[in-house]
Chains A and B, each alone.
Chain A
Amino acid sequence: MTKTMTGLATAVAAVAVLAGGALAQTDTIRIGVIKPITGPLAFDGNNSVNGAKLAVDEINAKGGVLGKKLELVVEDGQCKPADSVTAAEKLMVRDKVPVVMGAFCSGATLAVMPVAERNKVPLITGVSSSPKLTEAKQSWFFRNAESELMTAQAFAAILYEKMGLKNIYYLAVNDDWGRGTVGAFKETFEKIGAKTMSIEYVDRTANDFYTPLTKIRAANPDVVIVVAETQAGSIITKQARELGLKSKIFGVGAWATPTFMNLAGDAANGVFAGVVYASTATGDANKMFVDNFKKVFNTDPGKYSAGGYTTINVIAQAIARAGAAEPDKIREALTKTDVQAPNGRIKFDSHHQAYGWELVLVELKDKVPHIRATGVAKSPYD
Chain B
Amino acid sequence: MSSQRLPLLALLAAAIALPLVFRGEYFMHLMIMVLFYTVLASSLNIVTGYIGQLSLGHAAFFGIGCYAAAMLTLDAGWSVWTAMIIAGLAAAVAGFVIGYITLRLDGHYFVLITLAFAEVLRLVVINWEEVTRGPLGFPNIPRPSIVLGGEVMVDFSSKTHFYYVALVLVVITLWAKHRFVYSAMGRASVAIRENPRLAQSVGIDPFYYSMVAFVLGAFFAGLSGWFYAHYISYVGPDVYGFGFMVTMLIMIAVGGRGTIVGPVIGAAIITIVVEELRFAREIRLSLFGLLLMLSILFFPRGLVSVPDLLRRRGWWPGAGKTGTA
Contact = CB atoms under 8 A, between A and B. Distances in A.
A19 B27 contact: yes
B2 to A, nearest CB: 21
A106 B236 CA distance: 10
B126 A81 contact: no
Given A19-B22, A74-B281, A174-B135, 20 more contacts: A14-B272, A18-B26, A75-B278, A76-B278, A81-B232, A81-B236, A82-B228, A85-B29, A89-B26, A89-B30, A90-B26, A107-B135, A110-B139, A114-B233, A114-B234, A132-B139, A174-B126, A175-B126, A179-B134, A179-B135
B29 A107 contact: no
A4 interface: yes
B234 A20 contact: no
A106 B136 contact: yes
9 contacts: A18-B30, A20-B24, A39-B285, A76-B281, A86-B33, A89-B29, A107-B234, A178-B135, A179-B136
B282 A37 contact: yes
Nearest to B278: A75
A252 to B, nearest CB: 16
Contacts of B278: 75-76, 90
Contacts of B298: none
B136 A176 contact: yes
A76 B284 contact: yes
Of B24, B26, B33, B139, chain A has the most CB atoms within 10 Å of the CB of B26
A27 B162 CA distance: 36
Given A114-B233, A179-B134, A93 B127 contact: no
The majority secondary structure among interface residues of chain A is helix
Interface in B168-214: none
B300 interface: no
The majority secondary structure among interface residues of chain B is helix
B77 interface: no
Contacts, number: 100
Interface residues of B, number: 38
B282 A38 contact: yes
Contacts of A85: 29, 232
Interface of A: 1, 3-4, 14-15, 17-21, 37-39, 74-76, 80-82, 85-86, 89-90, 93-94, 106-107, 110-111, 113-114, 118-119, 130, 132, 174-176, 178-180, 201
B316 interface: yes
Given A107-B135, A130-B136, A176 B236 contact: yes
Of A80, A106, A110, A174, chain B has the most CB atoms within 10 Å of the CB of A110
Contacts of B137: 107, 110, 176
Interface string B94-122: 00000000000000000000000000000
A175 B123 CA distance: 11
A192 B140 CA distance: 33
B24 A21 contact: yes
A132 B136 contact: yes
A147 B136 CA distance: 14
Contacts of B317: 1
Of A85, A89, A90, chain B has the most CB atoms within 10 Å of the CB of A89
Interface string B4-38: 00000000000000000010111101100100000
